[in-house]
Amino acid sequence: MKIQVINMTFQTPRGTKDIMPEEMIRYDYVISVIKDVFEKYGFDPLDTPAFEDWALLSAKQGGGEAVKDEIYYFKDKSNRELGLRFDLTVPLGRLVANNPDLPKPFKRYQIGKAWRYDNPGAMRWREFTQADIDIVGSDSLEAEAECLKAVCEIFLALGFSDFSVRVNSRKIADNFIRSIGLTDAASVFRSIDKLEKIGESGVKKELAEKGIPEKKADQIIEFVRIRDLEKAKKIAGPEGIDDLEKIIDMSGEFRRYLIADMSLIRGLDYYTGVVFEISLGAGVSVGGGGRYDNLTEVCGGKKTPAVGISIGISRLVSVMEERKMLSKAKTKCLVFVISVSSEAKKGVAGLVQKLRSIGIPADFDIMSRTLSKQLQYVNSRGIPFAIVVGEKELKSGSAKIRDMKTGKEEEFEFRNPKKIARLVKPE
């Protein structure tokens, strides 16, 4: 029987991308900085499934209408309705609801992928990586301040000086919406949340389509332009604003990065109080969060106060690459040991293992290539150091390590590879 071979080329699905080693190294660096700060602030790691029950993901006051149409929905072989998680917060609400005896406050961080059937664009993907911290069980404003301080420390550690964290409270916005005689605050919030995408005219058009009179729409636009807490207090009253003032004061040295912004709403329905958004200027948002005291109840548990903030790692790495803030290293391998002949290869393998045993990432040729081809390979991978080993080096028990960038060479003895460690990993 003749088998027909069909030649096909497959691409990544729209809105996703392959992350090659060079870029993954940069991801790893950013994630390591984030993890270090999270753990310094007392957060412990957690992981949850990539998919959840559709009923949970689509629940009102879970993701709500803001993301319901963006959830990747499917049925499994037992006809169960499921969906890929659209964030890391709703799964946390479900986990806490299922584990009511967790010690409180429950402080966790999670770094993982999420999915939304959104329109792909610049720095916007349907599959993306997030890093979240959350504090569950405390209704103290200190919880908000802890999250904000951790995030500010992360962005300073990554080398940003021009970032800001916009802060607002749903209570302020809710009070204002009621003060002008409107009752469906959630609907108004969803329109305001699109302000950066569609502009003031777009928001007013959407409000008009919802039956909101032009005069009230103008009042809403005027209010969301406010960046001064005292001015907002005169219009909407003290509720919510007093909370913001306390949180900013609790943030200590990081308070200078916090900016009150009445236009900040956050579109997800589960937010109940203070909300945050991390901005890198020029309309670039790389994360946000806020207080969500009702989510565990929506997930089937008892009502439990909670607050958290999320960093969009995929977008953050893109911004840092654009601003040339990240290393251009192509590999994590530091040393490549080149064998001049097949006879030298056994000695080469032993040297490589010695280097690895003292924590130096090292590699050698497994393709039986010539000396020149091995050197080409070292250069193509951007490996910073190379050691050439032949019969002469094996007999003498010493060789030279070459800095591939400068061409400088230093001699060392095989029995003392720690000299290499001092050279390739200087303190």
Question: Containing domain of residue 264, as a range?
Answer: 21-48+91-322
Greater pLDDT, 168 or 190: 168
Quick one: 149 and 253 in the same domain?
yes
The 10s digit of each residue's pLDDT in 354-389 is 999 999 999 999 999 999 999 999 999 999 999 999
Quick one: 298 and 390 in the same domain?
no
In a domain, 73, yes or no: no
CATH label of the domain that carries residue 411: 3.40.50.800
Quick one: 137 and 282 in the same domain?
yes
Q: Mean pLDDT, the chain, as a whole number?
A: 91
In a domain, 313, yes or no: yes
In a domain, 59, yes or no: no
Q: Is-contact 240 172, C-beta < 8 A?
A: yes
Where does a domain end: 289, 322, 355? 322
Quick one: 111 and 212 in the same domain?
yes
Write down the pLDDT at residue 192: 85
Q: Is-contact 66 190, C-beta < 8 A?
A: yes
Closest CA to 385 of 333, 349, 339, 342: 333
In a domain, 249, yes or no: yes
Greater pLDDT, 283 or 17: 17
Quick one: 164 and 313 in the same domain?
yes
Whether 149 has a pLDDT exceeding 70, the answer reads yes
Quick one: 135 and 235 in the same domain?
yes
In a domain, 380, yes or no: yes
In a domain, 376, yes or no: yes
pTM exceeding 0.85? yes
Backbone angles phi, psi at 268, to 5 degrees: -70, 140
As a whole number of angstroms, the distance between CA 294 and CA 325 comes to 39
Quick one: 39 and 146 in the same domain?
yes
CATH label of the domain that carries residue 171: 3.30.930.10
Number of domains in the chain: 2
Whether 427 has a pLDDT exceeding 70, the answer reads no
In a domain, 77, yes or no: no
Quick one: 269 and 406 in the same domain?
no
Tell me the helices (H) and strands (E) count for the chain, helix number first: 17, 16
Whether 108 has a pLDDT exceeding 90, the answer reads yes
Lowest mean pLDDT across 159-163, 270-274, 289-293, 335-339: 270-274
Quick one: 312 and 347 in the same domain?
no
Quick one: 172 and 317 in the same domain?
yes
Quick one: 271 and 363 in the same domain?
no
Where does a domain end: 322, 355, 386? 322
**Cα-based torsion angle of the residue sequence 252, 257, 258, 263 in order, rounded to the nearest 10 degrees:** 180
In a domain, 64, yes or no: no
Quick one: 304 and 342 in the same domain?
no
Where does a domain end: 322, 345, 373? 322
Question: 119-132: b or e for each residue (b if 16 or more CB lie within 10 Å)?
Answer: eeeebebbbbbbbb
Write down the pLDDT at residue 62: 63
Greater pLDDT, 47 or 190: 47
